[in-house]
Amino acid sequence: MHFRLVDAASRDNGAARLMSVKFETDPARYRHWKLETERDRARLVMKVDEAGGLSPGYALKLNSYDLAVDLELADAVTRLRFEHPGVSVITLESALEGMFCAGANIFMLAHSDHGFKVNFCKFTNETRLAIEDAAANSGQHYIAALNGTCSGGGYELALACGEIILVDDRRSAVSLPEIAYLGVLPGTGGLTRLVDKRKVRRDLADVFATLAEGVRGERAVKWGLVDAVAPRSRFNEAVGERVASLVDPKRAGRAGIALDALAPAESEAEIRYRHLTLRLDQARRLAELMVAGPANAPAIPAAAAALGADFYPLRLFREIDDALLRLRFNYPEIGLVLIKSAGGLERVLELDRALWERRDDWFINETLLMMKRVFKRLDLTAKSFFALIEPGSCFAGSLFELALAADRIYMKADVEGRIATGVLNAGTFPMGNGLSRLRTRFIGAPTRAAALEPGGRFDAEAALAAGLVTAAPDELDWEEELRLAVSERLSLSPDALTGMEANIRFAGPETMETRIFGRLSAWQNWIFQRPNAVGERGALKLYGQPQSPQFDYRRT
């Protein structure tokens, strides 16, 4: 992963140093978290290595975090679901006395470029949504055991947990001090979770979000900011009692699978995974995601976990996830991604039917949930996506969701029977708005979506008539129409396109999830570029300095 870290010298001349880290990790390489598991419960203990940031120039003091810390957390949340399925309760804890987490590292944010800051906020939101998804759909419940002060992004992490227990020692508080100290917003959905999830009263939320020192003890319980408090003398005992009350003994015997490294082959122009190839034309600001369909539709054994990490859909969607993150962070200038596929249509549909029939198996369920989260990652990626359906394509069922997630779908007119809907298109992979992509596509015609959900095959003419594709040029026009469409897209303002796509991709009802990303995208993008936050006398830039920020007090 690359990001631009702007130090004091480079700020003066407008330059930026390009840093690089890897996305993949595993518990043996964690520097900031310790994952401890028993038969039915687990502990994620945070002890951030102050010198373990992505780059020199800032220290991760007081369990403050940067992307390196959150990458480990995201990895642990996924591994708990696949490698430790017997676990039903996870506690998030701190190894620091009197301090849970001070939130996102301010010096890292102050010295990162705008695009990195926004992508960092987006990734941390997705990680916290994965925690909530684990509780809602995998039976893995998270408890934030706050043994000390918990502020900013630390409290936002706690808000993602199902329950929050705070030590009552007259010192430890929860707080969202970003507005008071930094002139920015809590970047990981804190304000939205406060009122949408925890149902904190508006006036109390207003006081809390502007009270830099936060709220302690019973007052925090009364306001709904935490679920319980316990004195330090029996804090660990209180947490242990709550964990014991939530353990599900029926899960304890499940044996997990090991998630091995993806280890793609990388070059300047291509990243090649086992089932996916990401081709990069950086000069044109264009990329191509080529998905290889399954070689076969394997029979799913009685104990589905025996299929392991090589199971085609699990492996493929882990690869797509990694590719999307690389596109976000490593290649900010790539503006358009062409999604293609190659393989047997019937093999995809057969595999989908097997997944649907065995969806009650924990391993199959987790695979489907992984696929859902990756589709959502695609929905939220600030790139344009065009799906191209050509001879040999296999956009069917679950793989057709990739096309439905695209901004446009082009299908060559002489391609017969090369797209199909199936059982997994009817709501197995809901978008952030809670609707399937078919339901969202036909938001004004729900009967049309309902008619397509049971499944069917479509040639180009039928697909165009059904509204499943954007255009179906014939052989003579195919290359020219695509050339014009690609050229036009890449000529438009990337800022305007990001705003347009964020507005039109999520038709239909609002949810906490869509509000988090919608509000974050609009407001934090704006605030992160305002002089009140990031100007030479802005609050974020002067944090930790003896000078006070200077604000332009005009409200806009």
List of residues 6+ apart from 218 with CB closer than 8 A: 168, 229
What pLDDT score does 74 carry? 98
Give pairs for 534-539: CB < 8 Å, separation 24+: 534/110, 534/114, 538/183, 539/181, 539/182, 539/183, 539/184
Q: CA torsion 390→393→396→400, rounded to 10°?
A: -60
Closest residue by Cα to residue 520 from 121, 2, 166, 134: 121
25-248 and 265-504, same CATH topology: yes
Find the largest Cα–Cα distance for the chain: 78
| Sign (positive or negative) of CA dihedral 329, 332, 338, 342 | negative
What pLDDT is attached to residue 84?
Answer: 98
pLDDT tens digits, 11-44 = 333 333 345 557 899 999 999 999 999 999 999 9
- Token representation of residue 209: 């979000």
β-strands 89-94, 384-389 pairing: unpaired
pLDDT at 19: 54
Q: What CA–CA distance (Å, rounded) separates 136 from 471?
A: 39
CATH class, domain 25-248, is alpha beta
d(CA 361, CA 321): 23
**Which tokens belong to 206?**
């207003």
Q: Which residues of the chain have pLDDT under 70?
A: 1-21, 417, 521
- Domains of the chain by residue range: 25-248, 265-504
Which is it for the CA torsion 93, 97, 102, 106, positive or negative?
A: negative
Report the pLDDT value the prediction gives residue 418, as an integer from 0 to 100.
Answer: 83
Tokens standing for residue 550: 């200077």
* pLDDT recorded at residue 473: 96
* pLDDT one-digit tens code per residue, 222-235: 999 999 999 999 99
Determine the Cα angle at 185 with ends 179 and 189, to 5°. Answer: 135
DSSP state of 294: P
Look up the pTM and report it.
0.94
Q: Is CATH 3.90.226.10 the right assignment for the domain spanning 265-504? A: yes
